[in-house]
Structure 1
Amino acid sequence: MSTPTVELRPMTAGEYPEFKEQLATTFATAIGPARGLTAEEALKVSYAETEKLLPDGPDTEQQLLWIAVADGVPVGTLWISTRARMPFVYGVEVAADQRGKGYGRAIMLAAEDECRRRGYDALELNVFGDNATAIGLYDSLGYVVTSQQMRKSL
């Protein structure tokens, strides 16, 4: 299967509330088990972190929020922070009804192109250890592990 092409366009203020809800839910699902939190606690932490990192929503300085569009249809979202020396992917999400079509790869390739265009020579991200699909995607795109956190339940 060939990789589709997506265009990244800035997220509007009107699109941000839905993005924020999806982001909070997705992040809470990942951090809950990783941090030993209940679903309620994880959601609370997720909203707090989002507010801290995106106090002005899509207008927050050094935070790039995009909608990925293919053939005029929104297929996902992308959030990259340029606050540090190296840009960092905080979130990439493919719309539930668009999964399995190669849009995750397309969004990441578009992210890389956008970062190159802005003068960066690397892109960083974090992925939870139990997210085999994302790990497989990032491996196939040439991302390498630069640090690893481990835990053992006692």
Structure 2
Amino acid sequence: MERAAASFAAGVGPARGLTEDEALALAYEQTENLLPEGPATDQQLIWIAVGDDGAVGSLWISTKSKVPFIYGIEVDHAHRGKGYGRAIMLAAEEECRRLGHTQLDLNVFGDNTTAIALYDALGYTVISQQMRKDL
């Protein structure tokens, strides 16, 4: 849960103008609400991605809704650019297909251009967009 909260806080803080502490508090609150039983919470898939050197990243998918939602995907900094993000996403898609789902949703912050490029390459399309203007 700590990994998911830290990853969410890193994205939501700048997007919402929160301090690091505020973003982390919000992330922990939302994570605890979504995972009341921790990793054992029903209809939640929480994986640690493992490479030759041990853990390289993580994935959290909720399968509660008709369309599963990726709440978090993270590749550790030392392992980025090595194809792990793509491999994690492909494994997520395969598991969702195995469970009978035909779609998979996720959210990505607009400044995360690396992730956006990966999702584009994997065939994801924008279904909604939130915009902001600094005044």
SS at match of 2:7: helix
> Which residue, 36, 58, 62 being the options, matches 1:77?
58
Could you list the runs of 5+ residues in structure 2 that have no partner in the other structure? none
Identity value in percent = 65
Q: 1:33 is aligned with what amino acid?
A: P
Alignment partners' CA distance in 2, 1:60 and 1:75: 23
**Hey, what's the Cα distance between the residues in 1 that align with 2:129 and 2:36?**
29
Distance 2:92 2:68 in 1: 10
Partners in 2 of 1:127 and 1:48 — Cα distance?
20
Q: Provide the TM-score with structure 1 as the length reference.
A: 0.83
Counterpart residue number, 1:103: 84
Q: Secondary structure at the match of 1:105?
A: helix
- Relative contact order: is structure 1 or structure 2 higher (C-alpha 8 Å, sep ≥ 6)? 1
Q: How many angstroms apart in 2 are the aligned matches of 1:26 and 1:92?
A: 8
SS of the residue aligned with 2:132? coil
Matches of residues 119-138 of structure 1 in structure 2 within 5 Å? 119-138=100-119
The alpha carbon displacement at 1:65 in A equals 0.5
Which ranges in structure 1 are unaligned for 5 or more consecutive residues? 1-19
Q: Could you list the runs of 4 or more consecutive aligned residues of structure 1 that deviate by over 4 angstroms after TM superposition?
A: none
Counterpart of 2:127 in structure 1: which amino acid?
T
Letter in 2 for 1:116: R
Provide the residue aligned with 1:115 in structure 2. 96
Shift in Å, 1:50:
0.7
Matched letter for residue 17 of structure 2: G
Total equivalences in the alignment: 135
* Structure 2 residue aligned with 1:29: 10
